[in-house]
């Protein structure tokens, strides 16, 4: 755009092969080195978990990139220069194999990829998710990235999505040049952006997984923050509702389950089901800015953190006394979901 001359200039466009970009050593490595920038260009918040990941021990092939979204779904990303009819089949086979992974394997992949300890990798994931980590890999998604897509790929993706609820998204690379400067954009060609934005993926995979936390002693033994451990021991001894798979205590307000407190290694986070007027200000005044109070679930719920003995004391007073007469709004979890274990 030339403001002074009030004119527009179209940038030169090229396919990745014509621009001399290689699939793995150029495009994939750029995404690997700048995941936040690339995923922002896609318009999808994703956390990169691994690169060149083997989906199963008996398979020699490797996934280009593996990520998770904020709902805990595993996301298989497959890249191709040009177009390739087999790209979708390849990605679907990888996603089917990843569906058998437990949470520990995804955390382990993130640990190796990021060069962090398993505990630090788990913290990364828990900070990123808008769900409890117990939701990790309950569903799988496929993202195809290419210069273009054959009709057969797009129509098959549409058929699988609409008839079988398989979440498949196709993004087209667009490379542009202008006097030596190079630009890359990434546009969603399927599904339409307005559909992709509001897609809900709640389909659960079958099978039964072995419990990660067999009992509360195993949970509490992994906690390093004594304030968290003491609070949980005290509430468990008092018979508080709890759910071990998510390391959670359940607090009811007005007879309905409104607060879930989840134990973590260094802190506890609270998930507030449904909202009440001025709730963000309410919790910030009691817990301070360090609590990280923020809306989640498209603003329908709230999440914040408890770190110290005083935090837990103020939280307990709030749910047992201060909020007793507060009217919660009706746009949180339906009543039947509130009364079930998460």
Bridge partner list, 80: 146
Q: Which of 50-54, 57-61, 143-147 has the lowest mean pLDDT?
A: 57-61
The pLDDT tens digits for 148-162 are 899 999 999 999 999
Backbone angles phi, psi at 48, to 5 degrees: -70, 130
Q: Which tokens belong to 227?
A: 């304030």
Sign of dihedral through CA atoms 58, 109, 200, 133? Answer: positive
Q: What is the pTM of this model?
A: 0.71
What's the confidence (pLDDT) of residue 325? 86
Residue positions counted in the chain? 342
The token pair at 252 is 């009811």
Q: Is the pLDDT assigned to residue 246 strictly greater than 90?
A: no
pLDDT tens by residue, 160-215: 999 999 999 999 988 888 877 888 888 899 987 655 554 544 444 444 456 677 89
What is the model's pLDDT at position 23? Answer: 66
Lowest mean pLDDT among 75-79, 189-193, 210-214, 281-285: 210-214
Whether residue 39 has pLDDT greater than 90: yes
């Amino acid at each position: 755009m030339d403001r002074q001359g009030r004119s527009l200039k179209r940038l030169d466009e090229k396919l990745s092969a014509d621009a001399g970009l290689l699939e793995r050593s150029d495009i994939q490595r750029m995404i690997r080195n700048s995941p936040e920038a690339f995923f922002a260009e896609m318009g999808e918040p994703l956390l990169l978990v691994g690169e060149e990941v083997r989906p199963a021990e008996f398979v020699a092939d490797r996934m280009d990139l593996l990520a998770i979204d904020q709902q805990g779904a595993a996301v298989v990303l497959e890249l191709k220069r040009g177009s390739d009819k087999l790209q979708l089949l390849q990605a679907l086979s990888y996603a089917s194999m990843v569906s058998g992974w437990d949470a520990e394997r995804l955390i382990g992949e993130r640990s190796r990829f990021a060069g962090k300890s398993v505990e630090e990798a788990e913290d990364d994931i828990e900070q990123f998710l808008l769900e409890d980590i117990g939701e990790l890999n309950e569903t799988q998604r496929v993202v195809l990235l290419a210069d273009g897509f054959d009709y057969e790929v797009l129509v098959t993706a549409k058929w699988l999505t609409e008839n079988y609820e398989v979440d498949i998204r196709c993004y087209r690379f667009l490379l542009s040049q202008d006097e030596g400067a190079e630009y890359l954009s990434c546009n969603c060609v399927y599904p339409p952006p307005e559909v992709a934005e509001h897609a809900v993926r709640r389909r659960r995979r079958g099978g039964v997984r072995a419990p990660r936390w067999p009992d509360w002693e195993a949970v509490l033994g992994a906690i390093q923050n004594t304030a968290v451990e003491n609070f949980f021991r005290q509430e468990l001894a008092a018979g508080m509702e709890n759910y071990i798979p998510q390391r959670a205590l359940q607090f009811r307000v007005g007879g309905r389950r409104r607060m879930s407190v989840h134990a973590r290694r260094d802190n506890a986070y609270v998930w507030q089901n449904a909202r009440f007027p001025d709730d963000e200000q309410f919790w910030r005044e009691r817990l301070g800015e360090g609590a990280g109070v923020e809306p989640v679930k498209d603003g329908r719920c709230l999440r914040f953190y408890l770190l110290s003995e005083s935090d837990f004391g103020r939280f307990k007073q709030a749910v047992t006394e201060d909020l007793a007469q507060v009217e919660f709004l009706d746009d949180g979890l339906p009543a039947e979901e509130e009364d079930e274990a998460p």
